[in-house]
Amino acid sequence: MTDTDWHENVFVHRVDTDDVAFMFARNFADEYRESTLQWEVPDADTTREVGDGGPRVADDGVTFLLDPCECVWLRGDKRGPAWTVSCSATAPGLTRALILPAPLRGRMTDTAGDVPSQSPATLQARIDRGDPVRVLDLRDRDEVDRWRIAGPSVAHTHRPNAKFLQAAVTDSLEEFVDGLAGEGPITAVCARGEASAVVAERLVGAGYDAHNLAGGMDAWARLSQVTELAGAPTVVQVRRPASGCLGYVVVDGDEAAVVDPLRAFVDRYRAVADERGATVEYAVDTHVHADHVSGLRDLAADATPVMPAGATARGVTFDVTTVTDGDELAVGDATLTAVHAPGHTTGMTAFAVGDVLLSGDSLFVGSVARPDLERGAEGARDLARELYRTITERFARFPDGTTVAPGHHAESPRLAGDGSHTATLGDLRDLRVFAMTEAEFVDHVTGDMPPRPANYETIIAANLGRETVDDDAAFELELGPNNCAATPADD
């Protein structure tokens, strides 16, 4: 079936089967990470040069999985001439070639049959309940470092898919599983739920309690959850757990307004309104967002787009209706009242409706907004002073019983009794930041800020209308955790 010709740092392996996988194990020398690997498939007239990273799929059907262990899968639709694959590297480290047995040859782009799976919604419900969740993340390290499934009850372990394949072929699955953090069922995760389906199937076949995250991290990023808040008028919170973004649909009678819409969920907002017999009349952004592409202009096809005047002063290039402090928007018999709330940005504006304060990025449940995304580190202290005045003075007129419905939630959210990400203003006023002096507050929120949101400059440009991004590009730009909060407010 096969023959191997070894050379110094080079091997050539000939294959006479139509569907086989190769794993090339090597040492983890740092200098090897700077080397270049060249894969040749002569019959496909293709040469690929790739560095550490991946996965990358070439048109000829070769999938490169490049991590501490190199793995390439070759697939053919029918038997034909044998393929020859050569690998060369400029640094030492290649140690052996492993040919995977038939049970492990499953196609990387196919979903294995009858694999136990769990939907993103079910997994999120487990996390929200505080159930133990044991995640085996098979993606590349750079993807995992960018964002991952997290929560107070989540035990997360990163193991590249090639590591699992190596454990399977060398009969060391027990050692592999013993090295996973946490206890209980294993949730296998990859980008699209394909490689993880193969892993979950193999784990189940070996007697382990495991399942696949259906659709992978792609489906996780697209998950939205809807919670209707108590009281009148109707306020519906629409949550994106993957990023912590929160948007709102306010409904009264046959009219609705959407506040802080994500482009990814435009259809969901319309459906929420339609299910309640209403049509979206207003699409409102509380500020120029830095962590997601706004759905304002998409909803504006059928509704009036609204932004704070201070936000448009940053250079918005499209037509919008502007509001300033105290301006009102009528939604049925209800009223959204603009509340100037600078701090996160100069134009940040909250909206009061009934007993609810849609606080945008100002006051969160357990934290406050970061002040450095508009003017950078040099302007952060001035905006932090404005944020202090917002939460202690501008919000002072609202009673303790006011429900604060923020624009984001933390990685470890605190759910209200109704399952929403809200809290009463009275409870939040017990946080330590409310007892600080202005100087103490400024030092607190500027002293230990998290990394800025990924791609925030491009996202801001898109939300100002200066750059155009399609839906796929917008989706990729938004992947990652929410970093719009400063240090937790009760630390």
- Both 173 and 26 in one domain: the answer is no
CATH number at residue 355: 3.60.15.10
Residues 327, 407 within the same domain:
yes
Q: Give the number of domains in the chain.
A: 3
pLDDT means per 10 residues in the chain (491 residues)? 33 33 32 34 37 35 32 31 33 32 31 75 92 95 89 93 84 92 94 92 92 95 94 94 94 98 96 97 96 95 96 93 97 98 96 97 92 88 97 97 93 78 95 95 88 84 94 85 58 51
Structural domain of 364? 224-488
pLDDT of 482 reads 61
Residue 448 CB neighbours (<10 A): 11
Residue 112 within any structural domain of the chain: no
Buried b / exposed e over 81-118, threshold 16 CB at 10 Å, is: eebebbbbbebebbeebbbbeeebbbebeebbeebebb
Q: What is the pTM assigned to this prediction?
A: 0.77
191 with 57, same domain: the answer is: no
How far is the C-alpha of 340 from the C-alpha of 346, rounded, in Å? Answer: 9
Residue 418, pLDDT score: 87
What string of DSSP letters covers 2-59?
Answer: EEEEEETTEEEEEE-SSEEEEEEEE---GGGGGS-EEEEEGGGTEEEEE-SEEEEE-T
479 within 8 A of 221, measured Cβ to Cβ: yes
* Domain stops at, among 188, 220, 252: 220
CATH of the domain at 139: 3.40.250.10
CATH number of the domain to which 13 belongs: 2.60.120
The separation between CA 197 and the C-alpha centre of its own chain, rounded to angstroms, equals: 21
**How far is the C-alpha of 157 from the C-alpha of 38, rounded, in Å?**
30
Domain endpoint, select from 186, 220, 254 = 220
Q: Are residues 208 and 87 in the same domain?
A: no
